[in-house]
Amino acid sequence: MKNFKMFTLITLITSASAFAGGFTPFSELDTDNSGSLSMQEAAADSALAQKFEQLDTNKDGQLSEAEYNAG
């Protein structure tokens, strides 16, 4: 029974982190407070950096907050 409780706890913690959004919050990444993210700013989050070009739908080399939220 103790092992089952531990397994359940670990599963819940893992699941919660998986659904937490995945990327670092936009406001933390936008270090120059421009309202958009450059590739350099996005590089602080490796998962976001990998998807940067895909999320940059207007291909301006920046991620708007809307483009970021779509990811």
Which helix (H) or strand (E) segment holds residue 62: the answer is: strand 62-64
Q: What is the CATH number of domain 23-71?
A: 1.10.238
pLDDT tens, residue by residue, 26-59: 999 999 999 999 999 999 999 999 999 999 999 9
- Is residue 24 pLDDT above 80, yes or no? yes
At residue 22, the pLDDT reads 85
Q: Once rounded to an integer, what is the mean pLDDT over residues 5-28?
A: 62
pLDDT at 10 exceeding the cut of 90: no
